Structure formats: structure tokens, C-alpha cells
Structure 1
Amino acid sequence: MNASDRRLEVDRVSKRYGDTVALREMTFDVRSGEIFGFVGSNGAGKTTTMRIVLGVLAADAGEVRWDGEQVTLRTRSRIGYMPEERGLYPRMRVGEQLEYLARLHGLSAAEAARATREWTERLGVAARIGDEVQKLSLGNQQRVQLAAALVHDPVILVLDEPFSGLDPVAVDVMSEVLRDKAAAGVPVIFSSHQLDLVERLCDRVGIVRSGAMVACGSVDELRTGGGELLVVEAPGAASGWAAELPGVTSHRVEGGRTVLELAPGADDQAVLAAALATGPVREFARRRPSLTELFRHVVSEQEDAS
């Protein structure tokens, strides 16, 4: 397997806590140079999956592989992990902490100092290198947490809600870092509830529900599979005017516009006629669903089927 084919594979991983099933045959891969978005509701199994990849938790069944081989302690030492909960020592100074973590991953003292300078500068916290972590803002703590995941030059990045608490400038900085690591061939997997950011940043996305992968693919593939939406702006229409129209499977109002989902083969001209019957129609257009809309549809569809 050459470098461009290297991938992190999660293969039919299951985990149970007593009667509670946390993961059920979770399966996906993250390819070399790819940014993979891992999305799902709270409790869907994202963090459990990441902890199994890291070896923090043991799977009841299934396997995690890197480059075709089962992940070992040696492999895990080359993974950069950013937990959702702060994983830093609050009373330790930023620079000392990053150098300490780099040394734990096998870097020499000089290499650790150099990497600490590089990543604190890159992430905009070099001026705080002598401060205790607990004295930083939450956003700067998040930047230091990312530096801790990067300081040992990992071959895989696993990030749990890395954008939480960041301002727009910090989001841009972190996004650029993830793109650069992916461009260098590092597989990047991150979870996030900010689906607009996932849509903009990720090469592929996996949607998780109740411990299982329920949809996986590029954003374009997922959006195409989600069908089309019809957006109608009819200022004179009463609330719920489209709810009973034939072929309309769902409707909601967003910013004065009615967003409709039509069943396959439904007649959009009948919808237009109904809208015109209420008065002027300022907008009538088809569009693909956003990742947020797709996520809502996939999760609700799975709930209805369960």
C-alpha cells in the first residue's frame, strides 16, 4: 500500500455498556489527505468511536486499522487527539506543557521547543506561552489544545468538537491548519455540530445515529441523494398554506420563505398555482438541501423507521 492509499479504517466496531448499546458495527474509513466530518446528535456515538480509535476505550467487537494493519500502541502514539473536554493541566504554563507533551511522544528537547514555538505562533498564542492555561480565555485554551494535538507531528488527526468556543478569526486559522495537514497527506477526522462549517471544510461526511453510520459520502453525493427542495416566497399566503398540497412531504418557514420537500414525481406546477392563488409570488426555485437539512432529514427518517 503506497502513501497515497494509507487510511484509517474503523471496521464493524461495537461497544456496549450493560444494556446500553453505544456502537453497533460502526464502519467507515478516513483516507490519506482527506478531511472527514463526523456528525450526529449528542449521544450518537461519535466520542466513543474516537476514544476506541485512540485506545482509551476497548471495543467489544470489530477492529481499527491504519495502513492495513491493526492499530497498536506505537501507532496510537503518532495520532494527534483533541478531546472535547479540555485535556490540559490548568496550572501548567502553556510552553512547558506543550514541550512536555511533545517529549512524551518521543521528540528531543530541542525538537519539542522548536515545535512549541512553531505551533503557538501559527495558532496565535505565542504571546501567552508563559501563562498558565487556566488564565487563558476559552478560545485560547482551545488553540493550545489544538497545538497539543499537533506538536508531535502526528500521522493522523482525531479532533472532537475542535471549533467549539472559537471566534470567526480563530475558526479560519484552525480551518487553514486542518487543510494544510490534509494537503500534507494526514487523514483528518473531526466531529462538530456546526454543520455549515463541516459542509464547507470536509471532503466526506459521515452521519451517525444510535451508534451506527446511517449515511456517508461527499457533501455533493449526500445532497444529491437527499432530493430537491422547493423554495417559495408568497407574502400573501397564510401560515401552513402548502401543508395539504399533493406530493408535499414536509414544509417549514425560513425567513419569510416556505421550504417544501416534494415526493418523487410531484407536480411543482400545482404548488406554483396554489402559491399564485394567494397573491404575488416573489420567489419560486428548486435547490439542493444543505447539510443541516440533510442531517435533519436522515435522522428523522431513521427515527421514524425505528
Structure 2
Amino acid sequence: MQLYPIETGNFKLDGGAMFGVVPKSLWNRTNPADENNMIDIAARSLLIENGDRLILIDTGMGNKQSDKFFGYYYLWGDDTIDKSLAKYGFHRDDVTDVFMTHLHFDHCGGSIQWNKDRTGYEPAFKNARFWSNKAHWKWATEPNAREKASFLKENILPLEESGQLSFIPVPEKGSRYLKNSALGFDILYVDGHTDKQMIPVLQYKGKTLVFMADLLPTAGHIPLPYVMGYDTRPLLTLEEKADFLNKAASEEFYLFLEHDAHNEICTLKHTEKGVRLREIHTFDEVFN
């Protein structure tokens, strides 16, 4: 197995929304805001080369939305998914599987693109299976009013229409873990941010690497109360974070940060104030 970090593009989000009830005087120390109260956000994917499979975890926003849409998110930098794939000698047509942690637009928008004459949509990875789970699919296709703006039908319905959509099982009631999924890694299911978000847990070069998605968006979100205003069940997020972060600190997990524009990987430690940041690493420092 070989892993590659894939940068799909950077944007900005409102710092207050990203940190919920936490005062700006606190979160601004780790995630400084600009004059519009916006903070830097990444959309960092992970590519897994495993035998004859090439698996991409999340795909960023994509580029099919209108200029008005992207104007809300202050795009910056020149990273694209195609540039990142090419850096490692790959093309999007090489991808065999796309695993979507959840179906919010900044995680799955790059899975679907305009067709050639812009009359409709098609998969952006023509040779891939797209993986979600039935519970989250139902949640996304019958959205609540709070999340409706994040579940864009043009990102979701074409996946099913293409015939390339598959579902990964949800663990039995009482368990959050699915061991050895169809894609060869374990999955932690969490429900605080959105229903049945899937967090990949990989064993790689003798270390446990966890793709954090929106369970831990940035290193600045490590303290338990630092929960996004976007989370649908913030009290459940607190419980899920506490369980996971304690385990991650005790078992020395490496946490791959999808949304931290300036930090790729972090590790944790136990302190008198709870779990806190131990170290920041680049991917290459840890695995190359």
C-alpha cells in the first residue's frame, strides 16, 4: 500500500461558524481570521494505491458551480485535484474507487462534473465506484432545512443515475466501527456533524493514520468545546470527539487533517486540561 496527500484547492469560511460558541478571542489564536472574519480552509484528500485499486477519499468542491457560488468561499491558491494526481504520476481516469466521508459539497463536489456540452452532469472519475452508505444517502437526499444548502442535488443524484454508486454497510447497532471494509480499511461512523459520517482508519507503515474529515476539521478544533456551528448534533459531537481523541492520544494515532490549510497531520497527548496537541507533522516527515 502507498498513500499520497491530494490537495484539491483552498477556500475560506466564516471563523465564527467554524468554531460555534467559542469566542473569537480564543479561536483566532490558532486560526487567524482576515478582515472579513474568514479563516483559511483546505480540501485535502487522500489517495490510496493498494494493488490494482486506486482509492480517493473525498474530492473537494469541484469546479462546476457558478462564479456567484464560489464567490461566497473566497477561493485561493492554485492547487487542483488534477495537478495533485499528476504530481504522483496519476490521472483521474486511473481512480478505481471514490470514498465519500459524507455528501456535503466541499467533500463530494469534485465527484461530479459538467458533460462536454454542459447540458447535464457526469461522474468526474469515469472508471470509479463511488462509495457512501444507505443511511447517509437517505439523510442527504431528504435533507433537513439546516443542511439543505450543503447537500446539493447536482453533486448527489448524478452518482446514482450513473450506476456507479455503491453502499458500504453500517455497523450493527451499538457499534461505531466497521472492521476491514470493502476498501481494505476500518471505518469509524459518527453522527454529530451529519448522520453517518464515515471516518477512514488506516494501518500504514506501522502507524495508525485516521482521515479526520469533519470530526476534527483543523488542529485548532482539538479542545472538546471547539465544535463547528455546522454540526447538526453538537452535544453528540462532544461525546464522539471525547471518545476518539482519548483513544487517539493513548494509542498514538496520526490524524490526517482534511480542512487545515497549514497543517497536514497532528498527534495528541493527555494533559491536565484534557487531550491537547502534541506535534504537527507534514505527511512526508511521518511516512517518507
State the TM-score, normalized to the length of structure 2: 0.33
State the TM-score, normalized to the length of structure 1: 0.32
Of structures 1 and 2, the one scoring higher in RCO (CA 8 A, sep 6+) is 1
> Which structure: larger Rg?
1
